[in-house]
């Protein structure tokens, strides 16, 4: 297992180097001049040139890249021009909000999609199978921002069941003491039930929006993988041995069908990290996605580069966790490595 982890880490290094180079070049190729943006429309050319010199954008591209790599080697991601704070601090502050939203959305999707896929595979052509197909089609077809706006309109505006979409917590509640950055976890650690319930209510609609988006591929893959396994010889043998249907499905069939599902979970989590950008804007969620969008509009290079590098590191970590899960579930993966 250790050799598998080391091999995957070595393969991730060229990917991260490529991300650094491509991110730097793409941010410099974007239209707009950050110096002109922050100088204002009434600024003179001399004032804009002074800001360019202060930012270092007047220097040759190779020199800018060298300074960027040197800062990265020291663990510095630059300073945000829009907030005036170091990018690393902004990301460390906002990343728990995005991670909490993404993980809760994925957990909710798994709790709904996996049982739906199993039931659809064990009862093909039934009402459950048709409902699974309809829900999967709807989840794939509906954009996340449309789903979010629809949920806000129905549950907040029309029914009044959900709180206003104004962030992670109601304005009348104070955040729990910072331990993990996850409001639900920190509220439980502080034994503050009111804050926990308030954070859960604020999280419900955005997490449901992401779960609807993630539910479709997970349910479809679970159904397809279970159908393939249920027609295998060893499943027919287990049924002929007199084992209960539940034991055959859960112990024998699902365990052998779970590897493609885990692969799909990794892909879906990657998609959710990207979909977070739209969901955070709809629900005014203070995550790194909305931070990156605001920086992109202002042609603020450092936060955009920090956001992309953070996403790349999360993808590498996610792929590593998937490989470890493969090795734990299927020992043949450890032997192949």
Query: How do the pLDDT tens digits run along the chain, 337 residues long?
Result: 566 667 766 777 777 788 788 877 777 776 666 776 666 667 777 777 777 777 677 777 787 888 878 878 777 777 787 777 888 888 888 889 988 998 899 899 999 888 888 888 888 878 888 888 888 787 778 888 888 889 999 998 888 888 888 888 887 888 899 888 899 999 999 998 899 999 999 999 999 998 888 888 888 888 888 888 888 888 888 888 877 888 888 777 887 888 788 888 878 887 887 788 888 888 888 888 888 888 877 777 788 888 888 888 887 777 777 777 766 666 655 545 5
Domain-embedded: residue 20? no
Look at residue 50 and tell me if it is in a domain: no
- Residues facing residue 81 across a β-bridge: none
**Residue 286 belongs to some domain of the structure:** yes
6 found inside a domain:
no
Q: Distance between CA 75 and CA 211 in Å, rounded?
A: 34
Q: Which domain holds residue 262?
A: 87-336
pLDDT of residue 82: 76
- State residue 313's pLDDT score: 81
Q: What is the DSSP letter of 165?
A: S
Say how many domains are in the chain.
1
| Residue whose C-alpha is closest to residue 183's, from 171, 166, 197 | 197
Q: What CATH number does the domain containing 292 carry?
A: 1.10.3720.10
Q: How far apart are the first and last CA of the chain?
A: 8
What pLDDT shows up at residue 51? 74
Dihedral angle sign, alpha carbons of residues 244, 250, 254, 255: negative
Q: Examine residue 9 and state whether it is found in any structural domain, yes or no.
A: no
CA 69 to chain centre: 26
- Looking at 123-170, list the stretches that DSSP marks H as alpha helix, in order from N- to C-terminal side: 127-141, 144-151
57 within domain boundaries? no
List Cβ neighbours of 42 (8 Å cut-off, separation of 6 or more): none
Q: What is the model's pLDDT at position 329? A: 66
Contact yes or no for 102/272 (Cβ under 8 A): yes
Cα-Cα-Cα-Cα dihedral of 27, 28, 33, 34, to 10°?
A: 50
User: pTM of the entire structure?
Assistant: 0.80
pLDDT of residue 274: 76
Q: Is residue 69 part of a domain?
A: no
Q: What residues contact 215, with CB distance under 8 A and at least 6 apart?
A: 109, 112, 113, 116, 135, 136, 139
Task: Please report the pLDDT score of residue 60 as a whole number.
Answer: 77
Write down the pLDDT at residue 207. 92
Residue 158 CA: distances (Å) to CA of 150, 153, 163: 11, 6, 12
Burial 97-106 (b: 16+ CB within 10 A, else e): bbbbbbebbb
Q: What is the pLDDT of residue 37?
A: 66
Per-residue pLDDT at 276: 83
Give me the pLDDT at residue 300, please: 77
Instruction: Classify residue 275: in a domain, yes or no.
Output: yes
């Amino acid at each position: 297992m250790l050799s598998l982890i080391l091999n995957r880490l070595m393969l991730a290094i060229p990917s991260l180097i490529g991300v650094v180079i491509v991110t730097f070049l793409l941010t410099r190729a974007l239209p707009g001049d950050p110096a002109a943006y922050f100088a204002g429309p009434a600024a003179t050319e001399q004032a804009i040139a002074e800001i360019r010199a202060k930012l270092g954008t007047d220097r040759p591209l190779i020199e800018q890249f060298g300074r960027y790599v040197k800062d990265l080697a020291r663990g510095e991601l630059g300073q945000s021009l829009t907030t005036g704070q170091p990018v690393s601090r902004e990301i460390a502050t906002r990343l728990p909000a995005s991670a909490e939203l993404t993980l809760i959305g994925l957990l909710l999707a798994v709790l709904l999609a996996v049982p739906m896929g199993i039931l659809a595979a064990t009862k093909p052509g039934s009402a459950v199978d048709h409902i699974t197909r309809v829900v999967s089609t709807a989840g794939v077809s509906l954009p996340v921002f449309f789903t979010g706006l629809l949920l806000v309109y129905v549950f907040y505006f029309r029914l009044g069941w959900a709180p206003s979409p104004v962030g992670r917590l109601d304005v009348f509640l104070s955040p729990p003491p910072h331990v993990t950055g996850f409001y639900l976890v920190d509220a439980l650690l502080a034994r503050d039930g009111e804050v926990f319930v308030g954070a859960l209510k604020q999280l419900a609609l955005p997490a449901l929006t992401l779960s609807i988006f993630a539910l479709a591929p997970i349910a479809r893959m679970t159904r397809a993988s279970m159908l393939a396994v249920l027609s295998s010889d060893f499943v027919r043998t287990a049924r002929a041995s007199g084992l209960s249907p539940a034991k055959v499905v859960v112990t024998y069939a699902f365990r052998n069908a779970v590897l493609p599902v885990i692969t799909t979970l990794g892909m879906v989590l990657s998609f959710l990290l990207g979909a977070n950008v739209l969901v955070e804007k709809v629900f005014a969620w203070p995550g790194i996605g909305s931070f990156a969008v605001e920086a992109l509009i202002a042609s603020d290079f450092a936060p955009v580069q920090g956001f992309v590098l953070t996403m790349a590191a999360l993808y590498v970590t996610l792929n590593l966790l998937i490989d470890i899960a493969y090795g734990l579930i299927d020992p043949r993966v450890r032997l192949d490595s």
